Every structure is written in C-alpha cells, then in structure tokens.
C-alpha cells in the first residue's frame, strides 16, 4: 500500500525546521521540492517502500555537541550530543513509524501497560497508574510492592531477529 499524498504532506509540515543533515538539505528545501513536483517526491518514497529499502545515505548523521547551559565547558559531560540526520530519512522514518503505530493501535497489539513511545501516554501516565494501584491496594487493606529495573543500553541490546519474528506473527506487512 503506497504512501498517500496527504500523509506525506502532513509529515513534512509537522517537521521542525532544524539544522540540515550531513547532506545539507533542509526541511524547507524538501518542502519546496514536494510542492513543485509532488508526484516525483511521492514516487521516491513509495519506491523505497515497495523495495523495502531505507537508503544508507539517509542513515548517515552529522554528530554535533551542544553545550548545556550553566555547565563547565571544559567537562565532557557539559555537552549534549545531537545527530543531524538527512531530512529524506526523517520523512521516511516518520511515515513508517506512523504506519506501524496505527496498525499496532488498531489491532490492539500493544499491552495497555505500555506507555513508552505511545501517543497521549507518558512517564507521568505510568506513574499515575502506579499511584492508583497502590491507593486501591491500601483501600482494600492489601500489601503492594513494586519492582523496577532499568536495562542499560536497552535499545542496543534488542535482538532484531526476535522483533522481526514478532512482527510477522502479528501479520504486520513488510511495507
């Protein structure tokens, strides 16, 4: 199923006007290209979708370090690393993320207790759920306990083969 013009346009207009990526192309420049030749622009993205590719050149970032206010500039920890990615890649990534999120939500695949990376859910929402649980337990004179853990470098520890296997098991289409 191809990307639709209105979805691409919404994605482009919603993007923040940040610094350009390593290729030097800004969102404003790509937005101009989109309005000059929508058909060509959409064809590029749909070609990637149909072939199941995400061009490597759209994944190369320019790493810059932004100084944190009020921190000693001679300390390494006084800087925040920011990766400036090519805008084409940001657009394709956002379109794919929106498509996958929609599918997962519409098919009730994600657990209700999943708060991270979900629309209208945050760490505050998760804390409110915990607070409600504890208060409910108190009212019922039950003992409650909570175990919390943080997986260091969690994203980089993911077994991608397992993620792909799960996506297939939920009938998530390749594109």
63 pLDDT exceeds 80? yes
The whole-number pLDDT of residue 51 equals: 93
37 pLDDT exceeds 90? yes
The whole-number pLDDT of residue 134 equals: 92
The whole-number pLDDT of residue 9 equals: 96
**Reported confidence tier of residue 174, pLDDT bands at 50, 70, 90:** confident
3-state SS track over the chain: CCCCHHHHHHHHHHCCCCCCCCCCCCHHHHHHHHHHCHHHHHHHHHHHHHHCCCCHHHCCCEEEEEECCCCCCCCHHHEEEEEECCHHHHHHHHHHHHHHHHHHHHCCCCCCCCCCCCCCCCHHHHHHHHHHHHHHHHHCCCCCCCCCCCCCCCHHHCCHHHHHHHHHHCCCCCC
The angle that helices 27-36 and 87-106 make with each other, rounded to 10 degrees, is 80
pLDDT digits (tens, 9 = 90+) for 145-159: 888 877 777 777 888
The whole-number pLDDT of residue 79 equals: 92
Strands 62-67 and 79-84: antiparallel
**Reported confidence tier of residue 91, pLDDT bands at 50, 70, 90:** very high
Torsion of CA 114, 118, 120, 123, to 10 degrees: 60
The whole-number pLDDT of residue 1 equals: 85
Of the candidates 56, 60, 76, the one whose C-alpha atom is nearest the C-alpha of residue 23 is 60
116 pLDDT exceeds 80? no
Domain residue spans of the chain: 5-109
Is the whole-model pTM more than 0.85? no
The whole-number pLDDT of residue 2 equals: 92
Of the candidates 9, 173, 29, the one whose C-alpha atom is nearest the C-alpha of residue 91 is 9
In total, the chain counts a number of residues equal to 175
**Reported confidence tier of residue 141, pLDDT bands at 50, 70, 90:** very high
């Amino acid at each position: 199923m191809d990307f639709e013009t209105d979805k691409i346009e919404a994605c482009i207009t919603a993007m923040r006007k940040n610094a350009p990526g390593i290729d030097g192309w800004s969102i404003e420049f790509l937005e101009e290209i989109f309005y000059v030749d929508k058909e060509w622009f959409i064809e590029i993205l749909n070609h990637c979708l149909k072939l199941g590719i995400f061009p490597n050149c759209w994944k190369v970032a320019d790493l810059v370090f932004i100084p944190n206010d009020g921190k000693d500039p001679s300390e390494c920890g006084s800087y925040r690393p920011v990766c400036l990615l090519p805008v084409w890649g940001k657009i394709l990534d956002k379109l794919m993320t929106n498509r996958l999120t929609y599918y997962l939500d519409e098919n009730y695949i994600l657990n209700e207790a999943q708060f991270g990376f979900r629309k209208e859910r945050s760490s505050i929402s998760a804390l409110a759920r915990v607070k409600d649980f504890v208060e409910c337990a108190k009212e019922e004179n039950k003992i409650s306990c909570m175990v919390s853990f943080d997986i260091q470098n969690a994203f980089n520890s993911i077994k991608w083969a397992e993620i792909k296997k799960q996506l297939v098991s939920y009938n998530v289409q390749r594109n």
